Amino acid sequence: MSHTTLLALDGLTCGHCVKRVKEALEQRQDVQQAEVSLNEARVTGDAAAEALIATVEQAGYHASQQDNARPKPEPLTASESQLAADNPSIPAQADAAAGHSSFSPQAAAADSAALATQADEAAENYQLLIDGMSCASCVSRVEKALAQVAGVQQARVNLAERSALVIGSPQPQALVAAVTAAGYGAEVIGDESERREKQQSSARQAMRRFSWQSALALALGVPLMVYGLFGDNMMLTTSNRSGWLVIGALTLLVMVVAGGHFYRSAWRSLLNRSATMDTLVALGTLAAWLYSISVNLWPDFFPAAARHLYYEASAMIIGLINLGHALEQRARQRSSKALERLLDLTPATARVVTADGEKTVALSEVQLGMVLRLATGDRVPVDGAITEGEAWLDESMLTGEPLPLQKSAGAALHAGTLVQDGSVLFRANAIGKNTTLSRIIQLVRQAQSSKPAIGQLADRISAVFVPVVVTIALFSAAVWYFFGPQPSLVYMLVIATTVLIIACPCALGLATPMSIIAGVGRAAEFGVLVRDADALQRASELDTLVFDKTGTLTQGAPQVTQIVTFNGFSEAEVLRWAAALEQGSSHPLAKAIRDRAGEMALPESSQFRTLRGMGVSAQLEGQPMLLGNAALLAQQQIGAEQAASLADEQAANGATPVFLAVAGQLAGLLAIRDPLRKESVSALQRLHGLGYQLIMLTGDNEITANAIAREAGLDRVIAGVLPDGKAAAIKQLQQAGHKVAMVGDGINDAPALAQADVGIAMGGGSDVAIETAAITLMRHDLHSVVDALAIAKATLRNMKQNLLGAFIYNALAIPVAAGVLWPLTGTLLSPVIAGAAMALSSITVVSNANRLLRYQPPGA
């Protein structure tokens, strides 16, 4: 019997996730319909809840059954609706010029629901600084601990930054308790500024600690190693026994002081019945020291050939690994520079205007509705609207546009932008985490904490990696003890210690997050906001780019591109009369004519009439005038033969011809069109050069669309399509085997953006655009599309290099450490060399990821 099952969903972050879950559910034969949002699914059919949950899990997300249905998300609030209405990238007017509207209630409803849901989710984000993590195994353990806390929807742990981002509505104390119970330290951070301050302080302290610990251990280990190479070969004799006992005590002191954190972490892991990188280090160094001290104390129990001491190995391994951590810490600090620069845009104080005068207050004290003053050189502290005054503002941090904008009363201001000249009063409309800049910072933070599908492979391996390595070490030691040459006890110790040390999964744990942090940060510097790492991976696999026409390829507003006069009339007369006839009209074509007329003095009209579907008529300056299309002139029997060929030519080029007749004579022809953005052709040429198929998808008529496509150099046109039809067109391309990105304005293209493999919103810095797509371009410039795709490919390439390097390192290092080269070379890998190799592998991964910080997209 058919029934409806309500599932709570976890892990969905964008429209692509929604689409993936919906398709997975509807592919089941026992499912009739599935309505999916970011946080729940309403499934109608015969399927059992357990089967549906399993399907969602197979799609890569999490689900649980809900007993009571939650209300659907409310539509946009009044402020959100106004914000959407004020968004300059809405191209409905321009499409109306061609007789079509690119906005539909369905698209608005889809976008409103997505915005409401996202806003609901984004309202409860918790940042934690995690202490004690050392490898990918630690990440897995902390994530599991956080995920089990009541109210947690999603937990993302970042090894590279030693931090966690938790989405949901848990109790902060419960989060800290869960991490503590897992064997680590945690602290909840209130905002980005506090996080940065504490993280930087922690990083500096860690680097100093690792540096002196490394120096202490190497100060003992290096002389011992040199003495072993050129002295008595580290063999215990009756004459040097007392001296080596002193060295053994000193080594133990160094292990406790310089390497105590390894042993404490290993002990906590043991109590939690798990194992990490620190477990391997602790086992290896303790095994070497215990063997050496046993030989030192009870030499008679060991054959003469087995009385080799390995104090230097314990000291050198601790010294080298601490040195690696110090260098890695310093390199990691560079990776978040982009985010730090965003944080630096927010001023610490603001000038509030009250009845008693002006006073400077901390930014945290600014409240909604307060009136604030800005002067030349100030950075805007919060979002708001100007109430008095005029100023020029540099908004390049949001839009990428280098030229300052003049703003006066009623204009919107965004936090972080710079007042270049002037002074204004403005009212605070959004504060704290609700400002545009804060939302951008939060988006970058979430993306840097996310994991792509390729990165999840490392997580799965790391979950079993350490126990497997311990097993390999024990098995190798047993083989060498029973079948190896004499002294077998010594060979067994060397093999076990070397395998344990060289196999530490530091590089594996850092491979993905370091690339993501650097790549997402570099993208932000180019004005490209990435919602999550999965979007970067999908963007690197695209072969087809689909563009909305109006406002994306074109400027988004019709303009008068040509005026041709006839029968002795001047261009100024034709323009002045046409603008006068269009006074008071809200039609996009009328606005284009008025804009072209500018500040001209326009005559008053009388006997004004609207001629439906054809144009308008009126008396101007004592003469009857008509303004409209060719059908209007034909109806009034006004000859337009001399302009017919020109009108046809303009129409073929995508322009709308508008005729002006004065006293029964043709006076002029105005060609009106929505011209291409100035960078469209060059940006599309760059994309063609990179091998992408370029398609235009528009609701405009085919003639206009083809004209624009020829001018822009597109491969294909799909015209006359409404917003819901756009999503269907994207789906057809996907069914043909293409990986598709949809590039639109982020509002009226919501269905197509959600359907595409990657939705790319031309944002212009608006809040609405930031919330809609997997990738948002803060600069309304098609070159940003090229930059975004190039950075996505570079990031994935870097990630693959890191993962491949980490896998190859472990795949080759472990067998070599186990002694497979002994039959060929007669030598074994030293535990000291193993420690150096392990530290070097981590440094190599971090350094390779930091190359992304200097990456320049081709042609940029």
Give catalytic residue positions: 548
Q: Count how many Cα atoms sit within 13 Å of the Cα of residue 139 in the half-sphere of its side chain.
A: 32
Given a contact cutoff of 8 angstroms between Cβ atoms, the answer to whether 728 and 751 are in contact is no
Rounded distance between C-alpha atoms, residue 370 and residue 359, angstroms: 12
Q: What is the DSSP letter of 554?
A: B
The torsion defined by the Cα of 313, 319, 323 and 329, in degrees rounded to 10, comes to 110
Do the Cβ atoms of 288 and 318 come closer than 8 Å? no
Cis preceding linkage at 603, omega within 30: no
Q: Report which of 195, 183, 189 is spatially closest to residue 145, judged by C-alpha positions.
A: 183
Burial track 344-383 (b if 16+ CB lie within 10 A, e otherwise): ebbeeebbbbeeeeeeeeebeebeeebbbbbeeebbbbbb
Q: What is the DSSP letter of 651?
A: H
Alpha helices in 184-310 (DSSP H): 192-230, 241-271, 277-297
Q: Give residues with Cβ within 8 angstroms of 688, minimum separation 6.
A: 694, 713
DSSP β-bridge partners for residue 33: 44
Residues ≥6 apart with Cβ < 8 Å to 742 = 546, 548, 697, 726, 730, 749, 752, 753, 755, 756, 758, 759, 760
Task: Annotate 836-859 with DSSP letters as a single string.
Answer: HHHHHHHHHHHHHHHGGGG---TT
Query: Alpha-carbon distance 846 to 507, whole Å?
Result: 8
Burial of 282 (0-12, 13-18, 19+ CB in 10 A): buried
What one-letter code names the amino acid at 835?
Answer: G
- The pair phi, psi for residue 806, each rounded to 5°, is -65, -45
Is the distance from CB of 748 to CB of 729 less than 8 angstroms?
no
The C-alpha angle 99, 104, 106, rounded to 5 degrees, equals: 155
- Please provide the size of the chain in residues: 860
Joined together, the tokens standing for residue 242 give: 């007392």
C-alpha 460, offset from chain centre: 23
Instruction: Retrieve residue 263's tokens.
Output: 């042993």
Please give the single-letter amino acid code of residue 594. R
List, as one string, the DSSP characters of 33-102.
Answer: EEEE-SSEEEEEES--HHHHHHHHHHTT-EEEE-SSPPPPPP---HHHHHHHHH-TT--HHHHHHTT--S
Q: Phi and psi of 666, rounded to 5°?
A: -70, 120
Tokens representing 421 are 């000249």
Name the token pair of 828: 């074994």
